[in-house]
Amino acid sequence: MTETAALIDRTTTAFQERHGRPMPEDNVWLLQRRAEHAALAKLLDSIRSRPDRAVHGAGCGTAPTGPVPISFDLDRHRRTRP
């Protein structure tokens, strides 16, 4: 959060110095950084408000207890496409 806020401050200050005016509020870069900052704040507030509800692994379920079977199609790249 602190680093994102500092990045926004540094960049908007540099823009002001370079162009002699503030960075426009509709600047795509600025909108995205503020959205990131707001998302981080929301995430941290959620975690702090219910620390007992934190989910490890994004709620993917339990980890398998043994090997996980996978298959590779080693000839797919050789097949012709219509």
Mean pLDDT in runs of 10 for the chain (82 residues)?
Answer: 94 97 95 93 84 60 71 74 60
Q: What share of the chain is helix, strand, coil (3-state, %, to 5)?
A: 60, 0, 40
Q: What is the pLDDT of residue 6?
A: 95
Phi, psi of 13 (to 5 degrees): -65, -45
Q: What is the pTM of this model?
A: 0.58
Q: What is the pLDDT of residue 49?
A: 82
Q: What is the pLDDT of residue 47?
A: 80
Q: What is the pLDDT of residue 52?
A: 73
Rg value, the chain, Cα = 23
Tokens of 80: 């012709």
Q: What is the pLDDT of residue 43?
A: 85
Tokens of 6: 């500092």
